[in-house]
Amino acid sequence: MNRLNKIKTAVIGCGKISDIYFQNLSSMFSIVDVTACCDLNPALQQQKAEKYQLKQMSMSEIIEDKSIEMVINLTPPGAHDSIIKTLLEGGKHVYTEKVLAVELGQAKELAQLAEAKNLYLGAAPDTFLGSAIQTARNIVDSGLIGEVTSCYAALNRDCALLAERFPYTAKTGGGIGMDVGIYYVTALLSILGPATEVAGICKTMNPNRTHYFTNKEDFGETYTMESEDLMAGTICFANGAVGTLHFNSNSIMNEKPQMVLYGSQGILYMADPNRFGGDVKVLLKGQSEPFVMPANYAYSENSRGLGAAEMAWSIRKNRTPRANKEMAYHALEVLTGIQQSSQTKTYYQIKSTFKTMPPLPQGYLDQKYYQSDAESGLALY
């Protein structure tokens, strides 16, 4: 069999995030062939099927279809455990939106199940494969800023506004740490490697809320904020670096993300880790102003689906994907560890680890200069 045949793929979950996946997987990545979609909402499923010329299938039909090798799960976090487990038991490779599962024990069982059945399991966020974070990693790996001794990550959001637009953010697994902080943690892990211990404080500052969008049917009704809306923590990395996290969703919605790596020879200012591109700046010893580093990697635009495509190439090439279950589990354990530290008032010792994967190849600066992801470096190690 031709090892480079496309991976026939189905998507489960046709919500808002699915559009960019459908668009990118059909236009940017030659290794993936999305043929079917599934959603609990029949109208939404039909809408996306007609828009992207896909076959409407139930989850059982997807599992029964032996030609479908991989399934991309875009459902809310609370559904991940049951859906991923069912798909793995049905013999499908799975790539899922973040987080791997809302509970660490669930994620561990999923990883073990994938291992036992010799199936691939990957997870977003995949923004760390974009041009900005790959450029930042290259700077650190080159030694330009010396030894990284500490780092800082911060984000502000408005959880009340988000709960009106995206109700899952008020549920377990949808809080500021699990839903957005995971991008920051994954970016740091991809550059600095595994963590060894964490500590922190998590709070739900205002659990009792009232819907305030006057044009919605639930206007004036009360609801409970089940997820964390404030997370502050400290991370100790195996390489000796120390990091601090500050995620506040009781603030304003015009985000001002910050990601800074402090080195012995300079300071690295990263772009928003929730995006694939953006300026990466460096301030070296003796300078008064930072300068923008040139981006030497592809995927600077919204490239969601990149992790799924890279995993598809990994399936065909029989290698470990970069957005793999080990790093996804480790990132989840970091966030879970901060939550547990907040409860126990003690440091949480990280039990898992992961292997830092090779960066993507350099030099593929603009997708208009190559015809497929095979030429962009995704097929290379």
CA 114 to chain centre: 19
Q: Are residues 85 and 62 in the same domain?
A: yes
Encode burial over 308-346: b for 16+ CB neighbours within 10 A, e otherwise: bbbbbbbbbbeebbbbbbbbbbbbbbbbbbbbbbbeeee
Pair 189, 327: CB distance under 8 Å = yes
**CA dihedral over 377, 378, 380, 381, signed as positive or negative:** positive
DSSP state of 324: B
Tokens found for residue 240: 């000796």
Q: Are residues 136 and 242 in the same domain?
A: yes
- Picking from 247, 274, 293, the residue at the C-terminal end of a domain is 293
**Residue 375: predicted pLDDT:** 53
**Residue 281: predicted pLDDT:** 98
CA 339 to chain centre: 19
Q: Are residues 111 and 147 in the same domain?
A: no
Q: Are residues 161 and 277 in the same domain?
A: yes
Concatenated DSSP letters of 340-374: HHHHHTS-EE-----PPPPPPPS----GGG-SSHH
Write down the pTM of the prediction. 0.94
Q: Are residues 132 and 121 in the same domain?
A: no
Q: Is residue 339 part of a domain?
A: no
185 sits in the region (left: phi over 0; alpha: psi -120 to 50; else beta) called: alpha
Q: Is residue 158 part of a domain?
A: yes
Query: What is the spatial distance between Cα 125 and Cα 379, in angstroms, rounded to a whole number?
Result: 20
**Residue 361: predicted pLDDT:** 87
Q: Are residues 185 and 92 in the same domain?
A: no
- Residue 264 sits in a domain of what CATH number? 3.30.360.10
Pairing of strands 70-73, 7-12: parallel
Q: Is residue 331 part of a domain?
A: no
Residues 6+ apart with CB under 8 A from 364: 297, 298, 370, 375, 376, 377
Q: Are residues 132 and 120 in the same domain?
A: no
Pair 304, 155: CB distance under 8 Å = no
Q: Are residues 139 and 158 in the same domain?
A: yes
| Average confidence (pLDDT) per 10 residues, the chain, 381 residues | 77 97 94 97 98 98 98 96 98 97 97 98 98 97 98 96 93 92 98 98 94 93 94 98 97 94 98 97 96 92 96 96 98 98 98 96 55 63 58
- Split into its structural domains, the chain has a count of 2
Domain that holds residue 370: 7-127+303-323+356-376
- Residue 18 sits in a domain of what CATH number? 3.40.50.720
**Residue 296: predicted pLDDT:** 85
**Residue 204: predicted pLDDT:** 94
Query: What is the spatial distance between Cα 288 and Cα 283, in angstroms, rounded to a whole number?
Result: 8
